Structure 1
Amino acid sequence: MVKEALQALLPGMVADRRHLHRHPELSFMEKETSAFVAERLAKLGIEVTSGIGGFGLIGVLRGNMPGKTVALRADMDALPIQDEKQCQYSSQSPGVMHACGHDGHTAVLLAIAEYYSGRRAELQGEIRLIFQPAEEVCPGGAVSMIEAGALDGVDVIYGVHLWTPIPVGKAGSAPDALMASTDEFFIEIQGRGGHGGMPHKSIDSVVAGSALVLQLQSVVSRSVDPLNPAVVTIGSIQGGTAQNIIADRCRLAGTVRCFDEETRDLIRTRVRELAEGTAAAYGASASVDYMMGYPSLVNEPREFERFYGTAAFDAGLIPEVSPKIMPAEDFAYYLRKVPGCFMLVGAGNPEKGILYPHHHPKFDIDEQSMLHAAALLIAMRESYCSDDK
């Protein structure tokens, strides 16, 4: 019955998703997206609180009977990527694109709002609809939503990510850590500039920086327990202005991904020690700006078990135990406050040419995945509310 009702809502989901895909907005700039969502919720008679953390919204749908409070979350922001797809719903905003599926997440939650708004008479408890800004950029939008009371009185929270590495028709999650923490660091090496033909009169910051890049590769291989997954990536190294000038400054930028706080603290310490020590070995100095980002996303084991049974029996999906993945999600902050589960819903379909990874300029989703995501979230909510606990 749920699937049939959602099937009738699928054309609207597709239309909403394509509208948002044509009009993407970057993190902390989701003004028109927020207004679009608020207008739709208001038409459904749903209580809306807007302007949270910039452009976040909370929609509250209360049933006519007492019961539990379940929160469902969607993120709304896009990425600074030029859309290279040739289709009728390609981005109309130069250099901005929904390359991660957040347009689909928003459309799914709007469809769920419509589904339940017509069922208030039979609805028990409360549904909290969280439309969050700025998932893509630290410090993210989740913290401000929580501070504004998004989780006050909430018993459990669920979220989905439309995920192209998983084929449409399947879904994955994990009973504990699913997604990594994400931290960033910026290292500036100060040397002494000079003429390229007289290196002995200078302190070459580029040479020191290059040595540091290699040294940082030893953090995971020689400092981290090999049973604990971790990544240290140097994504940028910049220094110098001309071929015959020894650069006085060199700047490195990198990211760190792992799954437990002990490893996270260890890596932060080692990055700082190696930066300062390597620079000093070349007669230079180093300053480190280390930014702690999102924590690891850890599901509640009982809610994972609910997903595994619900996905198969109530949502018509093939459930899988997902391996840990290194991308990060600020949904992790919600799960630190209340029990819940974050689920990856298959959205890839090579037969339709939908095979590009997230954050790729040709990224797309099989829009049938939105039907699956909506069915899964509704099934999770219904299962939780039917528990005797």
Structure 2
Amino acid sequence: MLKTNIVDLELQNWTIEQRRHFHMYPELSGQEYKTAEYVIERLKEFGLSPDMHFSAPNVVARFQGTEGKRTIALRADMDALPLQEDEDKPCVSTIPGVMHGCGHDGHTAILLAAAKWMTANAKMIKNNIVFIFQSSEEESPSGAKKLVEEGVLNGVDAIYGIHLMSDVPLGKIGFAEGFAMASSDDFDIIIEGVGGHGGQPQDAIDPVYISTHLIQAFQSVVSRSLHPLHAGVISIGGMQAGHSYNVIPHEVKIQGTIRAMTFDAAQMMYEKTEQLTKSICASFGAIGHYQYTPGTPPVYNHPEACEVAKKVIIETFGEDAFTELQPSMGAEDFGFYVKEKIGAFINVGMKSEISQYPHHHPKFDIDEAALPAGIKLMIQFALKG
């Protein structure tokens, strides 16, 4: 069993310094070039060289274990959000309109600290390790998808990732086994009707009226086409129509998201929404244009990886630390990794007075007391994954 004090105060303080650096200099999805340069500099200090086979600003480094019979991948995401941070904090973003509002600064610092510890204790690491510092988790195109396509999981036996969570109490660590997070796909719809005078609707084909039928029908996909035990959500997030009291517009634009907890449900909901768009619009004499944008697949926590993770949590932090979490309709592009390989995505609690605001909130902050737990998990996954 790894002693809980193996992550000493010096490493904890070093990790906090790294986290605060990333927090002060955030970069948006796909733009994390300075963050990547900083990560590469630290890795080189540890004696690790980045694998140049992968597209920037992703950073991948490999560690050769003493036995090398298994290869474990560990992943952190690096991107920030387009948010203006509330400045009433000890450490704030120096980039206007950009902040680490989801904890990725902590994830990157944690994985760097784990790499630092492993290189300093190389004789203890029997497995080969792949360190993945991933770009663009928050926005498409997904950094995870790109890395998988480029072969980052070639030869990998299992992959683990963590997420610091402001809605899980500090000191608690857990996950949902099986389908743990939903897929996330988007759609854009244009209802092309015939505009006209508001007082003479008989001469128009009203796309606003048609849109009400379409939105109602979409909810029937969830209530009548989706298996009652398979969670799914269709939400309309945007709608643009006319600008006048007495003019029926020519078209209506609709934007929405589809969330599903299984691969089959995601496919079915896509097919049904496309079919309904075209058929309902046609029934009123309008034309329905449907554009589907695939996002991220569901996150599936494999039972064998969950068994390892639960054992690691209990042995390292005690039975009281483990908490079984409910699946979430939130999405995470870690789903691309576990679609290909055995793996698990673990939530590290940090809910406290310091971390009391939800993710993606201008006042969101990390309770840095949770960072050591993240480091210990990454080290243990390297040892026992």
TM-score, structure 2 length as denominator? 0.94
Where does residue 151 of structure 1 map in the other structure? 153
Q: What is the distance in 1 between the residues matched to 2:362 and 2:325? A: 26
| Partner amino acid, structure 1, of 2:348 | V
1:376 aligns with 377
Is contact 1:139-1:294 (8 Å) kept?
A: no
Q: Which residue of 2 aligns with 1:343?
A: 346
Question: Is the alpha carbon distance of 1:262 and 1:338 closer, same or farther for their aligned partners in structure 2, counting shifts above 3 Å?
Answer: closer
Structure 2 distance, partners of 1:78, 1:332, is 19
Structure 1: distance between partners of 2:287 and 2:80: 38
How far has the Cα of 1:103 moved from its partner?
0.8
2:135 aligned with 1:133, yes or no? Answer: yes
1:69 to 46, 71, 82: 71
Change (3 A) 1:236 1:21: same
Q: Name the residue aligned to 2:206.
A: 204
Give yes or no for contact 1:53–1:141 (8 Å, CA) kept in 2: no
- List gaps (5 residues or longer) in structure 2: none
The CA distance in 1 between the partners of 2:23 and 2:34, in whole Å, is 12
Computed over aligned residues only, the root mean square deviation of the Cα atoms, in angstroms, reads: 1.8
- Deviation track 1:168-190 (CA, whole Å, cap 9, x = no partner) reads 11111122111111111111100
Residue of structure 2 equivalent to 1:387 = none
Deviations 1:90-116 (A, max 9, x none): 222222221111111000001001111
SS in 2 for 1:10: helix
- Residue 15 of structure 1 is aligned with which of 7, 14, 17? 17
1:114 paired with 2:116, answer yes
Contact 1:315 1:379 in 2 (8 A): no
Secondary structure in structure 1 of the residue aligned to 2:106:
helix
What amino acid maps onto 1:100 in structure 2? C
Q: Secondary structure of the equivalent of 2:50?
A: strand
Q: Which amino acid aligns with 1:19?
A: H
Shift of 1:198: 2.9
Contact 1:308 1:320 in 2 (8 A): no
**Residue in 2 that maps onto 1:331:** 334
In 2, Cα distance between the equivalents of 1:67 and 1:265?
37
| CA deviations over 1:342-383 (Å, ceiling 9, x no partner) | 11111211x33x222112222112111111111112122222
Q: Is the 8 A contact 2:175 2:346 kept in 1?
A: yes
C-alpha deviation, 1:269, in angstroms: 1.8
4+ residue runs over 6 A deviation: none
| Preserved CA contact (<8 Å) 1:3 1:375 | yes
Comparing 337-346 and 314-323, the one that deviates more: 314-323
Shift of 1:315: 3.7
TM-superposed deviation, 1:297:
1.0
* SS of residue matched to 1:283: coil
Post-superposition offset of 1:338? 2.0
Q: Which secondary structure does the structure 2 equivalent of 1:264 belong to?
A: helix
Residue 173 of structure 1 aligns with an amino acid whose one-letter code is F
Structure 1 residue 130: Cα displacement? 0.5
* Match 1:218 to one of 193, 217, 220: 220
The one-letter code sitting in structure 2 at the alignment partner of 1:168 is: L
**Distance in 1 between residues matched to 2:23 and 2:77, nearest whole Å:** 13
| Contact map agreement 1:65 1:122 (CA 8 A) in 2 | no
Q: Distance in 1 between matches of 2:136 and 2:251?
A: 33
Q: Secondary structure at the match of 2:127?
A: strand
Q: 1:273 to 1:152 in 2, by over 3 A?
A: closer
